[in-house]
Structure 1
């Protein structure tokens, strides 16, 4: 009976946090399947549409780096609740915006709200679950982004039959606000303050070659997942003449097989080594991303299924590598700076650049360029200095 109670007490905060993470991630990517509709309704160009992701990533970048200052004052639980409520409220406001400038402002503040979640979410998760269950708990928590990639295009297509894209943004924001309020009211988690980043601890990292390599590699990882996902529906509709519903269904189906990939690649990484696994994943990801820009018809559809399978395989060995370089004391700081920079460049800058090329009539060149860049850096893991024990 005690074991059951212990399991239940660990499961409740895990599911609560995973649900909030799912909404947090969904709000950041839901613009993508709606982009063809938004572009048509607001008469946007490709570069204007792509800039929405840079604006969101910029807001996310700022608060993800500074979140420790806020959680030190509010404690982690209130920080998570604040993140869900602020993110949801300003996403509702974004749905009400008529001009591109106001929409960018709404998405920027929404991104800032979203950036508060991850450090506090991981801190509360590991505090609420016994240490021997950390691996399983984090594995469940990390299902949220993959489920979001899978479900959001399908949900958007279903909701577009009933309401406008603006109503979808407002509904999603409302759910986030309600979930945040419920988390603050009903969640029973071990609460404690966060730790503000000590910027003096960053200086040694600046002289660590592996730190800079990991920033480049993580940027490629985010580019190959979020960056490509952001512009793919618009690309399939504009360049390949697919119906929006067909493009979103195809992209959603391509994500089904990605769910078990992190577990499988974790085993491969343990068996064959982090460096070899990372280089192999980057070569295959780069080649498949290149295929998105070069192929059409059946070949394109095959690559649409292969590319996400290969790209999500990057993160398990990459996080293992990130945890295996530098001193133990600087590990959290390394994560705190590597991930935000990668999201800003790979998840914000890359879609903006692809959108710019689209506006100039070179949409496919954006995907070709992304594939070439990923292939060019595939050799970098060789130069990582990782601890093997």
Structure 2
């Protein structure tokens, strides 16, 4: 969920001398981002068999999601310190190596505590990539093509959301949930070795966060409005996505296989909407686009929790359209409100704070509500909170 639009990176002379080399580097980074996001959301399609293996309640599964979120947020915020001591290239390789080991540990987990440790390390590995990936793109892609390059890079999370349930079910034809983690650990290991040997981008150091710049950004009310929006939108995307298999299995008695296939297919419209969201944001303006996306995302999230299986299925396809469209408009707004050359820091702070709330704290709350009041009320409270915050976006000065 999202790419920083770089504004503070020192762009080095490109190591890629022709279009073929530029595209090869860009596709490599997009593939790594896909693997990165895939690892972050892999637990969602696996949560039903994991819950059965460890005999935990719905609310207890929330702590598993929180572990990944905390690791990701801590690592994302500190990634600048790592890349400033290594290089962006070595930081990306380190990210994949940590991911590989963490996925293997998670697959071997004999209890929830060990699994939480593995998921925390998955978050650590994922968080290291984003800043270095964005900086690497700015190095290899000419400035006039950054928009198209980041649009391609941004497709990776949506493709991961679509492919994760399908790949999980493919592995279940011959293995179990542990097999999924082991196989993907091997994939990340191979990607790390390949990028370490052949990756052309990112052979320069990053910058550590500057406390003075953080204070400048934190004083802006618009930053906190957008951070709140990101947190709620991430919860509506990743948080709801992770809970949907449990929702269909527990409330509608769907087999896990059918729930995961439905989950995967429902992401297609969101992927297509992402392509047109930039055009709509340009036509409406950033503020009006955010108001539209925030309001519709809140309403469809509420609607997702009520009605027959047929109605819920329709909302399952509609809700992601408005949620995914928030992110390009949100990043555009951050670029507009951030001081000169602080875009990357503003995005890093926003995604760090919004991520720990949206993919960790709020999903933990949703699982507790679902355990005691039902999934319908969990989705209603999440969507209602977004609508309650909608008036703040009318005051946003981002055009």
TM-score bracket for this pair, using the shorter chain length? over 0.9
Q: Write the distance in 2 (CA, Å) between the matches of 1:179 and 1:57.
A: 23
Query: Where do residues 20-39 of structure 1 align in structure 2 (5 Å cutoff)?
Result: 20-39=32-51
Instruction: State the SS of the aligned residue for 1:83.
Output: helix
Q: Write the distance in 1 (CA, Å) between the matches of 2:371 and 2:273.
A: 35
Q: Per-residue CA shift, 1:191-248, capped at 9, x if unaligned?
A: 1100000112111222211111111111121111111111111111111211111111
Equivalent pair of 2:70/2:356 in contact (CA under 8 Å): yes
Asked if residue 43 in structure 1 is aligned to residue 43 in structure 2, the reply is no
Asked if residue 71 in structure 1 is aligned to residue 55 in structure 2, the reply is no
Q: Write the distance in 2 (CA, Å) between the matches of 1:135 and 1:209.
A: 27
Q: Extract unaligned runs of 5+ from structure 1.
A: none
Instruction: State the SS of the aligned residue for 2:174.
Output: coil
Q: Any runs of at least 4 consecutive aligned residues in structure 1 with deviations exceeding 6 A, and if so which?
A: none
Greater displacement, 148-157 / 133-142: 133-142
Q: Write the distance in 2 (CA, Å) between the matches of 1:337 and 1:284.
A: 26
Q: Which position in structure 1 is the counterpart of 2:140?
A: 128
How far residue 190 of structure 1 moved from its aligned partner, in angstroms, is 4.8
Choose which of 200, 203, 207 in structure 2 pairs with 1:191. 203
Equivalent pair of 2:79/2:128 in contact (CA under 8 Å): yes
Q: Which position in structure 2 is the counterpart of 1:340?
A: 352
Choose which of 140, 157, 163 in structure 2 pairs with 1:145. 157
Equivalent pair of 2:83/2:91 in contact (CA under 8 Å): yes
Equivalent pair of 1:50/1:231 in contact (CA under 8 Å): no
Q: Write the distance in 1 (CA, Å) between the matches of 2:218 and 2:310.
A: 46
Query: Where do residues 306-321 of structure 1 align in structure 2 (5 Å cutoff)?
Result: 306-321=318-333
Choose which of 339, 342, 366 in structure 2 pairs with 1:330. 342
How far residue 342 of structure 1 moved from its aligned partner, in angstroms, is 0.8
Aligned length: 384
How far residue 282 of structure 1 moved from its aligned partner, in angstroms, is 1.1
Q: Write the distance in 1 (CA, Å) between the matches of 2:321 and 2:260.
A: 17
Q: Which position in structure 2 is the counterpart of 1:243?
A: 255
How far residue 295 of structure 1 moved from its aligned partner, in angstroms, is 2.0
Q: Write the distance in 2 (CA, Å) between the matches of 1:197 and 1:326.
A: 15
Q: Provide TM-score, normalisation by structure 1.
A: 0.96
Q: Write the distance in 1 (CA, Å) between the matches of 2:114 and 2:372.
A: 25
Q: Provide TM-score, normalisation by structure 2.
A: 0.94
Asked if residue 253 in structure 1 is aligned to residue 273 in structure 2, the reply is no
Instruction: State the SS of the aligned residue for 2:86.
Output: helix
Asked if residue 105 in structure 1 is aligned to residue 112 in structure 2, the reply is no
Q: Extract unaligned runs of 5+ from structure 2.
A: 1-15
Distance 1:269 1:108, change over 3 A: same
Alpha-carbon RMSD: 1.3
Equivalent pair of 2:287/2:397 in contact (CA under 8 Å): no
Q: Write the distance in 1 (CA, Å) between the matches of 2:201 and 2:76.
A: 22
Q: Write the distance in 2 (CA, Å) between the matches of 1:299 and 1:188.
A: 49
Equivalent pair of 1:279/1:380 in contact (CA under 8 Å): no
Choose which of 282, 286, 294 in structure 1 pairs with 2:298. 286
Q: Write the distance in 2 (CA, Å) between the matches of 1:220 and 1:61.
A: 15
